[in-house]
């Protein structure tokens, strides 16, 4: 079972958490404002590797926190 | 594919390494890649085609899906596309002479509340209007079609009714892959297993081929028929995709000796179940919430899914889970596939198949082959281009995953 470190509650089972999303990064090369909006609305970085994400400890302290996770292994990094 | 299975198949592999140049190079020898190659060769006479796979044929999501074929989607363009695919599946054995274990079972999409019953009535009417045979049926008819169901839903999820999709079917996923591989190989298409594509060849802004450990291969058109790793391939050409990769888990039980005839999905409980030709009960649900490239399964998923399934089907509690697996799905942000041009010359794409790719294999292959041969997207897939997002014409389909 996957365990996730909550900054408030310590190590708790995966099922207590809700995945928020990754921090989206629109490339600087997209300069047109409309194209930037469309990119922000629809496109995904879909990183294979280490990502910075938001998680919500739904069944615990009910607070959001930022976590670093490797999407190829689901291992949470410090 | 293991050596034993390979001895049972009549796959006329070509010998040697890939040629230095092909008219079309397809990345990914799953159902979609091989079907496109097959239809390029048989419908358009384009046989100078090479299909490359990092692993063996059908080793990705084509070998990990739950084999369901249906067309009861949520928007008219999708219903038309998937209905065409469903009809092509019905004809595939006759066309190829190869047995794919196609079996029309009917799909029951259950509602356990008044509001969901309204959703299912709407779905039935909308699907019927768009050409997918669907009726709204009541609990008595459901019990007749599927005697194993507990209509009280364990006291918590009483069955109110269902939309019944008459032509819902299953087919053996591996056999579909092998059928298209065999058809393509017999027509002179080259298929290379264990040949990963490591990069794209470019001439200015144009994609001119692929890099592999067996050397560079130039191509008139490169088609990416890659599953979960598609963002990496598109990234080589500087293309941004509205795709997020999620793992989808499923499992089978040991064999159930009775017949379980239909495919049953539950809108409120969010799971679906069918019986494999071996008698195993095949159960699936939604993809994992977090983006991930990891193909392992979790105890919590098996537990939650089993709890839901036994609520409606008490007989399942006497069975045991035999096997579980996961595939990594290329889920598009509007839950519809993305087919055709990428905006980069020489690179086409077939992605966004999320959890609804298997049923689309024949139609997507046929239509993409026509697009590659003629240069223009046929009407059936024209709405599904990548440019739809920039045109603010996204194809949002909330019912594309089989559980909603």
Fold classification of A1-75 is Folate-binding fold (3.30.2270)
What is the sign, positive or negative, of the torsion defined by CA atoms of A23, A48, B398, A39?
positive
| The total number of residues written for chain B in this structure | 404
Q: What ranges do the domains of chain A cover?
A: 1-75
pLDDT score, position B267: 86
Compute, in degrees rounded to 10, the torsion defined by CA atoms B138, B141, B147, B153.
Answer: 0
Q: What is the distance in angstroms between the Cα of A55 and the nearest Cα belonging to chain B?
A: 10
For residues B138 and B180, state if they share a domain. no
Show the tokens assigned to B95: 């066309």
Scanning B187-244, the segments in alpha helix (DSSP H) are: 230-236
Given a contact cutoff of 8 angstroms between Cβ atoms, the answer to whether B81 and B380 are in contact is yes
pLDDT in tens, A9-60: 999 999 999 999 898 888 999 999 999 999 999 999 999 999 999 999 999 9
Contact A44 B229 (CB under 8 A): no
**Which residue of B242, B289, B300 is in closest CB contact with A42?**
B242
Which DSSP category does B5 fall into? Answer: H
Given B329, B352, B371, the domain boundary residue is B329
- Residue in B231, B293, B300 nearest the CB of A1: B300
In a shared domain, residues B115 and B163: yes
Q: B322 by DSSP, 3-state: which?
A: strand
> How confident is the model at residue B398, as a pLDDT?
73
Residues B378 and B269 in one domain: no
Is B355 in the same domain as B393? yes
User: CB B294 to CB A72 under 8 A?
Assistant: yes
Question: B292: which chain A residues are within 8 Å (Cβ-Cβ)?
Answer: 71, 74
Beta bridge partners of B342: none
CB-based contact, B395 to chain A, within 8 Å:
no
Task: Tell me which of B329, B356, B386 is where a domain ends.
Answer: B329
Please give the model's pTM, rounded to 2 decimal places: 0.95
For residues B67 and B358, is the Cβ–Cβ distance under 8 A? yes
CB contact under 8 A, B298 and A1: yes
Pair B232, B272 in one domain: no
Q: What is the DSSP letter of B75?
A: S
Please state the domain count of chain B: 2
Structure tokens at A31: 């300069």
Residues 6+ apart with CB under 8 A from B389: A38, A41, A42, A43, B242, B334
Identify whether residues B137 and B269 lie together within a single domain: yes
Residues A44 and B399: their CA atoms lie apart, in Å, by: 21
- In-domain check, residue B2: no
- Angle among Cα B326, B329, B334 to the nearest 5 degrees reads 145
Distance from CA of A45 to the nearest CA of B (A): 8
Nearest to B180 by CA among B60, B64, B36, B330: B36
Cα–Cα–Cα angle for B324, B279, B107, nearest 5°?
A: 85
One domain, residues B198 and B179: yes
Token couple for B392:
């603010």
Q: Find the CATH number of the domain harbouring B374.
A: 3.50.50.60
Structural domain boundaries enclosing B28:
14-65+173-243+333-400
Asked if B261 and B203 sit in the same domain, the reply is: no
Angle, helices B173-186/B361-374, rounded to nearest 10 degrees:
30
Residue with tokens 């209509």: B151
The domain boundary, picked from B277, B308, B329, lies at B329
Q: What is the pLDDT of residue A1?
A: 61
A14, B229: Cβ pair inside 8 Å? no
Contacts of B394 in chain A (CB under 8 A): 42
What does the block give as tokens for A35? 């194209």
Give CA–CA dist B251/B324, Å, rounded. 4
Distance from CA of A42 to the nearest CA of B (A): 5
Say what angle helices B31-44 and B361-374 make with each other, to 10 degrees: 50
Q: In this structure, what CATH number is given to the domain that contains residue B156? A: 3.30.9.10
Cβ distance of B294 and A71 shorter than 8 Å = yes
**In this structure, what token pair is assigned to residue B211?**
């890099």
Residue whose entry in the numeric block shows the structure tokens 């928020």 = A20
Q: Measured between CB atoms, which of B290, B292, B389 is closest to A42?
A: B389
Based on the fold, state whether residues B234 and B177 are members of the same structural domain.
yes
Q: Is B300 on the interface with A (CB under 8 A)?
A: yes
List the Cα angle B158/B164/B167 in 5-degree steps: 150
Say if B187 falls within a structural domain: yes
Residue B142 lies in a domain: yes
| Per-residue pLDDT, B101 | 94
Q: Do B389 and A43 touch (CB under 8 A)?
A: yes
Task: With respect to residue B316, please indicate whether it lies within any of the assigned structural domains.
Answer: yes
CA A37 – CA B157 distance, rounded (Å): 42
Spatial CB neighbours of A2, under 8 Å, sequence gap ≥ 6: A13, A14, A74, B298
Size of interface A-B (CB pairs under 8 A): 63
| SS3 (DSSP) at B203 | strand
DSSP B290-308: SB-------HHHHHHHHHH
Q: Per-residue confidence of chain B (404 residues) as pLDDT tens digits?
A: 666 676 778 888 988 899 999 999 999 999 999 999 999 999 999 999 999 999 999 999 999 999 999 999 999 999 999 999 999 999 999 999 999 999 999 999 999 999 999 999 999 999 999 999 999 999 999 999 999 999 999 999 999 999 999 999 999 999 999 999 999 999 999 999 999 999 999 999 999 999 999 999 999 999 999 999 999 999 999 999 999 999 999 999 999 999 999 999 998 999 999 999 999 999 999 999 999 999 999 998 999 999 999 999 999 999 999 999 999 999 999 999 999 999 999 999 999 999 999 999 999 999 999 999 999 999 999 999 999 999 989 999 877 665 44
Backbone angles phi, psi at B241, to 5 degrees: -115, 145
Q: Does the residue B195 lie in any domain? A: yes
Query: Do the interacting molecules here have an ipTM over 0.85?
Result: yes
- Same structural domain, B259 and B236: no
């Amino acid at each position: 079972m996957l365990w996730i470190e909550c900054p408030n509650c310590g190590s708790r089972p995966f099922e207590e958490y809700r995945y928020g999303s990754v921090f989206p990064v629109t490339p600087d090369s997209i300069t047109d404002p409309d194209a930037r909006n469309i990119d922000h609305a629809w496109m995904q970085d879909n990183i294979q590797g280490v990502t910075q994400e938001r998680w919500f400890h739904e069944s615990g302290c009910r607070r959001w926190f930022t976590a670093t996770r490797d999407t190829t292994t689901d291992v949470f990094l410090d | 594919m293991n050596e034993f299975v390979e001895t049972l198949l009549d796959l006329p592999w070509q010998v040697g390494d890939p040629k230095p140049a092909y008219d079309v190079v397809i990345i990914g020898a799953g159902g979609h890649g091989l079907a496109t190659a097959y239809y390029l060769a048989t419908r358009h006479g384009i046989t100078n085609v090479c299909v490359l796979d990092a692993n063996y044929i059908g080793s990705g999501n084509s070998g990990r899906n739950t084999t369901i074929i249906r067309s009861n989607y949520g928007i008219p363009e999708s219903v038309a596309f998937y209905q065409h695919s469903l009809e092509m599946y019905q004809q595939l054995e006759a066309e190829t002479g190869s047995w794919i274990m196609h079996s029309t079972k009917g799909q029951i999409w259950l509602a356990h509340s008044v509001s969901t019953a309204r959703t299912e009535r709407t779905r039935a009417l909308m699907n019927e209007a768009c050409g997918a045979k669907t009726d709204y049926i009541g609990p008595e008819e459901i019990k007749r079609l599927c005697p194993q169901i507990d209509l009280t839903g364990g006291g918590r999820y009483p069955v109110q009714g269902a939309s019944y999709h008459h032509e819902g079917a299953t087919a053996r996923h591996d056999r579909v892959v092998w059928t298209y591989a065999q058809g393509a190989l017999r027509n002179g298409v080259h298929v290379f297993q264990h040949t990963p594509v490591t990069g794209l060849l470019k001439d200015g802004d144009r994609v001119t081929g692929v890099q592999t450990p067996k050397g560079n291969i130039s191509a008139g058109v490169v088609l990416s028929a890659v599953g979960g790793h598609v963002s990496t391939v598109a990234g080589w050409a500087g293309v941004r995709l509205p795709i997020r990769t999620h793992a989808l888990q499923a499992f089978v039980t040991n064999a159930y000796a009775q017949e379980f005839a239909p495919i049953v999905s539950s809108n409120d409980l969010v799971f679906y179940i069918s019986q494999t030709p071996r008698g195993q009960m095949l159960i699936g649900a939604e993809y994992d919430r977090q983006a991930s490239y990891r193909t392992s399964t979790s105890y919590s998923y098996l537990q939650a899914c089993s709890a839901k399934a036994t609520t409606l089907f008490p007989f399942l509690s006497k069975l045991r889970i035999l096997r579980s697996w996961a595939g990594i799905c290329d889920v598009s942000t509007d839950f519809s596939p993305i087919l055709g041009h990428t905006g980069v010359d020489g690179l086409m794409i077939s992605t966004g198949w999320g959890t609804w790719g298997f049923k689309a294999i024949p139609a997507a292959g046929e239509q993409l082959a026509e697009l590659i041969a003629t240069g223009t997207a046929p009407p059936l897939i024209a709405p599904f281009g990548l440019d739809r997002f920039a045109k603010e014409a996204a194809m949002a389909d909330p019912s594309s995953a089989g559980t909603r």
